[in-house]
């Protein structure tokens, strides 16, 4: 793995924590220069955890402030990256938020914020960074969608709609940018062990049972780790996936593949 991305300039939005952090770590370990676009400065977080883990990073990581809902911020970000690095090889649109509320409680402001972060952000990032990707060797865009762009959970109307939009945007960009040599794919993660999802589990009165129940939804017998998503993003951004574009790759341990059946009819044999 080390050295596979040496010399590549990789932009990761929302890379300070969670899945984004794992993606940043993966590309850095592969030798890339990773530019983290985030509202939060991840410097101390990276330093403390890397020292504690004894992590050897082959590449370089840097932070440039970014608000993906603000086109002026994105323009400033692209200008900064262009001045520092001259171009971009990989764009990972990872920044996202989740709003949980019933339809009757949904507000226009809440709906618009979810769409601004999850869908308008990737659109604007692509619009302003694609000029920095043209002419590079095998440039790639990887959008982080969700299995909720394929199905949905209760009270997630804005989130599910935004992620379905990300999947549609992915296909449209693949068609439009393909002639310029830019591939575009999406990853649809399932239940991943992030700080956000861990918070939901920790609220359960029987946490161990909740974890076991979640694991049982997946044919592989476990919930996902951020590194599972990062590995898929890395492959999609690599020349090994040079003939793959316009795809939504589901990374969910088989959860969406298993057809549900009532417990009373399940065959435990």
Q: Domains of the chain by range and CATH?
A: 9-254 (3.40.50.720)
Q: What are the residue ranges in the chain where pLDDT is below 70?
A: 1-2, 44-58, 199-200, 267-269
Does the model's pTM come out above 0.85? yes
Q: Can you give the pLDDT at residue 245?
A: 98
CA–CA dist 264, 48 (Å, integer): 49
Q: Can you give the pLDDT at residue 50?
A: 53
Tokens linked to 196 = 């956000």
* Long-range pairs of 110-117 with CB within 8 A, sequence gap ≥ 24: 110/158, 111/158, 113/69, 114/158, 114/159, 114/162, 115/158, 115/161, 115/162, 115/165, 116/68, 116/69, 117/68, 117/69, 117/162
Q: Can you give the pLDDT at residue 86?
A: 97
Q: Can you give the pLDDT at residue 44?
A: 62
Q: Can you give the pLDDT at residue 38?
A: 97
Residues 6+ apart with CB under 8 A from 125: 11, 13, 37, 68, 74, 91, 93
The 10 Å Cβ neighbour count of residue 246 is: 15
Active-site residue, from 27, 63, 77, 159: 159
pLDDT tens digits, one per residue of 167-192: 999 999 999 999 999 999 999 999 99
Q: Can you give the pLDDT at residue 252?
A: 95
Is 200 one of the catalytic residues? no
Decide: 147 and 104 in contact? Cβ < 8 Å.
Answer: no
The 10 Å Cβ neighbour count of residue 151 is: 13
């Amino acid at each position: 793995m080390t050295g596979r991305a040496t010399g590549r300039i990789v932009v990761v939005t929302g890379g300070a924590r969670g899945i984004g952090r794992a993606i940043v770590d993966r590309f850095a370990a592969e030798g890339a220069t990773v530019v983290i676009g985030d509202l939060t400065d991840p410097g101390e977080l990276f330093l403390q955890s890397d020292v504690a883990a004894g992590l050897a990073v082959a590449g370089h990581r840097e932070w440039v402030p970014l608000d993906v809902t603000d086109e002026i911020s994105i323009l400033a970000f692209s200008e900064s990256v262009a001045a520092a690095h001259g171009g971009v090889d990989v764009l990972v649109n990872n920044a996202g938020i989740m709003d949980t509320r019933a339809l009757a409680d949904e507000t226009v402001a809440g709906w618009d914020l979810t769409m601004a972060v999850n869908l308008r952000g990737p659109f604007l990032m692509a619009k302003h960074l694609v000029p920095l990707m043209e002419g590079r060797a095998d440039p790639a865009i990887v959008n982080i969608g969700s299995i909720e762009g394929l199905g949905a959970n209760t009270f997630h109307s804005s989130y599910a709609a935004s992620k379905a939009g990300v999947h549609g945007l992915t296909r449209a960009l693949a068609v439009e940018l393909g002639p310029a040599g830019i591939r575009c794919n999406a990853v649809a993660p399932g239940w991943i062990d992030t700080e956000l999802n861990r918070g939901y589990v920790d609220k359960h009165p029987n946490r161990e049972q909740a974890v076991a129940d979640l694991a049982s939804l997946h044919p592989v017998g476990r919930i996902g780790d951020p590194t599972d998503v990062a590995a898929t993003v890395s492959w999609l951004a690599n020349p090994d996936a040079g003939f793959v574009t316009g795809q939504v790759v589901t990374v969910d341990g088989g959860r969406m593949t298993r057809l549900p059946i009532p417990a009373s009819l399940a065959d435990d044999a």
